[in-house]
Chain A
Amino acid sequence: MAEQDTQLSVLEALDHLLDRGVVIAGEAVISIGGVDLLYLGLNVVLANVDTIMRVTGKSK
């Protein structure tokens, strides 16, 4: 498999891991890129690192 295809497969797998599947009730905290993302009840709040960095004023 070409390197590009491998990278695409990894990205696709991570996309499924992070953004699909059933959401179990409860609260957890995820930290990506050093910024905590809060799961609030059943509503998952996810944003990409770039957005978070801008929101928290850490962008370059």
Chain B
Amino acid sequence: MKSIGIGLHLEAEDVEPVAKAVSAAGLFVSAVEVPDDQPLGDRDLLLRVSALRAALLERATFVAIRYGFTFRAASEAESKIGAAAPQWRRILEENRTRVELTLKIAVGDAHPRPDRHAFASGADYLRALQVAKNAAVVSDEFRRQVEKHIGALCVAYRWTARDAASVELAGLIERRTLPSVGPAGEALKRACPDVPFLLSAPWPLEVFADVDLK
């Protein structure tokens, strides 16, 4: 059997009995066991892990692990979590009462994605991809409205250019603020009815768990 890591938690009680809690590097890794030959891309498994992620978030805030991390023993998980564990513990302690929200905005005049066949080298293609990604912007007025309606709910927020066609805002909010997210989205829609966006919450610590950004 192998274990698929779902998140990093402060306490075993935050994990059990929803998932298996594996003690590693002073934290607990929530995990689900699957047979060694189980393909990770299996649709039902993806949906199962996604549902477990949501159930775990109902119990307590955790640092989300990007899908694909597997291990066979606690010692293996510990060695892979390694040096970053103290920073994740600090992030978890600081944000115990918080979750993330995500606002995805479709950009109307997106920079076209470059054609990979039009480049002589992979490096040139990757540079062009980066230019296209950074070219995705939202209007100043929409940005102001987002910061007024959504940013005001957040302890912190970050804008990122997700790809050539969308921009994203990740916000860190107190759990008690969650009931205000829906009305804030409706207010934003009334203020900017022509801008397509998707507002969702709650999510575990994903963007704000990046130790490099702290």
Contact = CB atoms under 8 A, between A and B. Distances in A.
Interface of A: 8-10, 12-14, 16-26, 28-33, 37, 39, 44
Contacts of B5: 24
29 contacts: A12-B198, A12-B200, A13-B50, A13-B54, A14-B46, A16-B102, A16-B203, A17-B53, A19-B66, A20-B64, A21-B65, A21-B67, A21-B204, A21-B206, A21-B209, A22-B63, A22-B64, A22-B206, A22-B209, A24-B65, A24-B66, A24-B69, A25-B82, A26-B80, A30-B67, A31-B39, A33-B41, A39-B68, A44-B66
B5 to A, nearest CB: 7
Contacts of B41: 30-33, 37
Contacts of A39: 68
Interface residues of B, number: 35
B70 A28 contact: yes
B40 A44 contact: no
A54 to B, nearest CB: 10
Contacts of B39: 31
Task: State the majority secondary structure of interface residues on A.
Answer: mixed
B93 to A, nearest CB: 16
Contacts of A33: 41
B203 A44 contact: no
Most buried by B among A20, A23, A32: A20
Contacts of A24: 5, 65-66, 69, 80-81
Contact of B66 (A23, A29, A37): A23
Contacts of B207: 20
A30 B38 CA distance: 10
Given A14-B46, A14-B50, A21 B40 contact: no
Interface string B182-214: 000000000000000010100110110111000
Contacts of B200: 9, 12
B204 A22 contact: no
A13 to B, nearest CB: 5
A41 B63 CA distance: 20
A55 B104 CA distance: 28
A16 B46 CA distance: 11
A44 to B, nearest CB: 7
B207 to A, nearest CB: 7
Residue among A10, A26, A37, A44 with max Cβ neighbours from chain B (10 Å)? A26
Nearest to A32: B41
Nearest to A49: B41
A11 to B, nearest CB: 10
